[in-house]
Chains A and B, each alone.
Chain A
Amino acid sequence: DIQMTQSPASLSASLEEIVTITCQASQDIGNYLSWYQQKLGKSPQLLIHSATSLADGVPSRFSGSRSGTQYSLKINRLQVEDTGIYYCLQHYSAPWTFGGGTKLELK
């Protein structure tokens, strides 16, 4: 199975700060990587698909990038509504695997 190592596990940042979350894949997954935001008691919401493509309706302060087998989610100018838990997902091969999650809080 492909392992997705997500870091950090938790993060506290200030308003307007730039935040970066990363996922390291255990093998090549191409661009078959999505990012999700989950708020407490809610289902995950798609932010980024195909590693770098912004999902419909997602604010442009969110962006995704790839360097080899390392994938990053960047949030420019952090807003209050950006708090929650973020997950990466590889859908290159079954079983699809999620990263362990990053809990983002406001400082």
Chain B
Amino acid sequence: QVQLKESGPGLVQPSQTLSLTCTVAGFSLTSYNVHWVRQPPGKGLEWMGVIWNTGGTRYNSALKSRLSISKDTSKSQVFLKMNSLQTEDTATYYCARDPPLGPDYWGQGVMVTVSS
């Protein structure tokens, strides 16, 4: 059964670094790409970046200077790190599997609030 689950702190202080983990099951990270997508409260979806099955990455240029995506294939985990957080980074963060035909399975999301 394909599953993705995001985990991380619910609250981050401004200017600090966000670290999220996406733990997957039911498929291998060597065969599928994984994307990160975020959604501010009451707003639409924003693509953040992808880690390809080969390990390469691609980021949204608007976030590129602050964002890093990596993975540990043996642990079936994908990691997101984003620094210099501001209040506008408050959002639900999702990871999603990509076959690649566009993301098919999504995690439940993790809500991150940036506040002092």
List A residues at the B interface (Cβ < 8 Å). 1, 32-34, 42-46, 49-50, 53, 55, 87, 89, 91, 94-101
Q: Out of A1, A34, A101, name the residue touching B102 (CB < 8 Å).
A: A34
**A46-B46 CB under 8 A given contacts A94-B58, A95-B60, A95-B61:** no
The answer for the CA separation of A101 and B101 in the assembled complex, in Å, is: 20
* Contact call B61/A46, Cβ cutoff below 8 A: no
Judge whether B47 and A43 touch: CB under 8 Å.
no
Between A and B, how many residue pairs show CB distances below 8 Å? Answer: 57
Complex contacts, A34 vs chain B, CB 8 Å: 101-103
Is A44's CB under 8 angstroms from B106's CB? yes
**Chain B residues at the A interface, C-beta cutoff of 8 Å:** 35, 44-47, 50, 58-62, 94, 98, 100-109
Complex formed: what's the CA distance from A55 to B61 in Å?
Answer: 30
Mostly, the B contact residues are: loop
Smallest beta-carbon distance A56→chain B, Å: 8
Report A-chain residues with C-beta under 8 Å of the C-beta of B101. 34, 49-50, 53
**What 17 additional pairs, Cβ within 8 angstroms, besides A46-B103, A91-B102, A94-B50?**
A1-B61, A32-B102, A43-B106, A43-B107, A43-B108, A44-B94, A45-B106, A46-B104, A46-B105, A49-B104, A87-B45, A89-B45, A95-B59, A98-B44, A98-B46, A98-B47, A100-B44
Residues from chain A with Cβ under 8 Å of B106 in the complex: 43-45
